[in-house]
């Protein structure tokens, strides 16, 4: 075992003791980042090339600073995104939400689908749809100036059309024309603040996390926006907390002009997102 792998083993234990959920993964990722090699090549780093800045990075992660803030990168489906303070770090569970949406758009009898991503954050969802549905037109809406710094960096050179604005009043010029509205909105109840992981609570922007006493205020607003934007037969896809399974589909009721409202599980078989179809006239 070379020096770096020995240090990684020690770092793994330190991160585990600090309560980091994936200590081995993070210790190796930080070693690869600091030494500018792939994780699979850590054993090739010479002992003389060991960089003591590795332990600075480990100390930051030990203090529960997000891994992605230390490396400046987040990976989402086939994307490498720039992230940092001020923008929500995309989570793996959202990948299954986007996968469902991509399949739904591909199944539509529409040559050039029109898609809107509300509360876009880093732009992960919008960019994934633009990349994987090549003939789509994707609009991304984000309100926060701090988040937009990162969204602009990520969408630069892509086909995504970025708009600064409120998800509740966005894009009136597209009313009745959109094929798919998708969002990963804030959905944590204010009463749950103390139970949120430090990486999110202390580093993700508050406006990307919390939404009223029951966590559903933003989703209620998105329901109204989605109904306004979608064409008849168009689809809305909204991520929610696994504890909100069963609640969110009831926001998209027949009385409000929706059909086929349903919940869907993530890869861990926990309720993760709701979908509905705008009813035909």
Helix axes 3-17, 53-62, angle to 10 degrees: 20
Count Cβ neighbours within 10 Å for each residue of 54-89 and write b for 16 or more, e otherwise. Answer: bbebbeebbebbbbbbbbeebebbebebbbbebbbb
DSSP code of residue 194: G
Cβ atoms of 276 and 252 closer than 8 Å:
yes
How far CA 253 is from CA of 66, 103, 136, 147, 258, in Å, comes to: 38, 23, 28, 32, 5
Phi, psi dihedral angles at 72 (to 5 degrees) = 80, 5
Residue given tokens 């933003």 in the structure block: 218
For residue 56, what is the enclosing H or E element? Answer: helix 53-62
Distance between CA atoms of 153 and 151, rounded to whole angstroms? 5
* Residue list for the binding site for substrate: 184-187
Residue given tokens 């701090």 in the structure block: 146
Cβ atoms of 116 and 162 closer than 8 Å:
no
* Residue list for the binding site: 142, 184-187
* Residue list for the binding site for S-adenosyl-L-methionine: 142, 184
Beta strands in 24-77 (DSSP E): 73-76
The residues near 151 (Cβ < 8 Å, ≥ 6 apart) are 87, 120, 121, 122, 123, 140, 142, 162
Dihedral angle over CA of 27, 28, 31, 34, nearest 10: -100
């Amino acid at each position: 075992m070379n020096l770096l792998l020995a240090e990684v083993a020690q770092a793994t234990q330190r991160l585990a003791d600090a309560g980091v959920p994936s200590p081995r993964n993070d210790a190796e990722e930080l070693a690869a980042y600091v030494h500018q090699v792939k994780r699979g090549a850590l054993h090739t780093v010479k002992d003389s090339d060991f960089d003591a800045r590795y332990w600075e990075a480990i100390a930051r992660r030990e203090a529960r600073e997000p891994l992605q803030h230390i490396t400046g990168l987040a990976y989402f489906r086939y994307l490498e995104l720039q992230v940092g303070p001020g923008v929500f770090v995309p989570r793996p569970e959202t990948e299954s939400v986007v996968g469902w949406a991509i399949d739904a758009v591909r199944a539509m009898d529409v040559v050039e689908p029109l898609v809107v991503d509300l509360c876009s954050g880093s732009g992960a969802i919008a960019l994934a749809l633009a990349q994987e549905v090549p003939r789509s037109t994707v609009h991304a809406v984000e309100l926060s100036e701090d988040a937009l710094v990162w969204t602009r960096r990520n969408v630069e050179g892509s086909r995504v059309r970025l708009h600064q604005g409120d998800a509740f009043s966005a894009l009136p010029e597209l009313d009745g024309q959109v094929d798919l509205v998708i969002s990963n909105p804030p959905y944590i109840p204010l009463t749950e603040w103390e139970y949120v992981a430090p990486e999110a609570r202390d580093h993700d922007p508050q406006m990307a996390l919390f939404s009223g006493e029951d966590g559903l205020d933003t989703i209620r607003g998105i329901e109204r926006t989605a109904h306004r934007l979608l064409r008849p037969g168009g689809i809305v896809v909204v991520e929610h907390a696994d504890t909100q399974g069963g609640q969110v589909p009831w926001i998209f009721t027949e009385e409000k002009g929706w059909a086929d409202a349903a919940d869907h599980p993530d890869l861990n078989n926990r309720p993760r997102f709701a979908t509905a179809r705008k009813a035909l006239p």
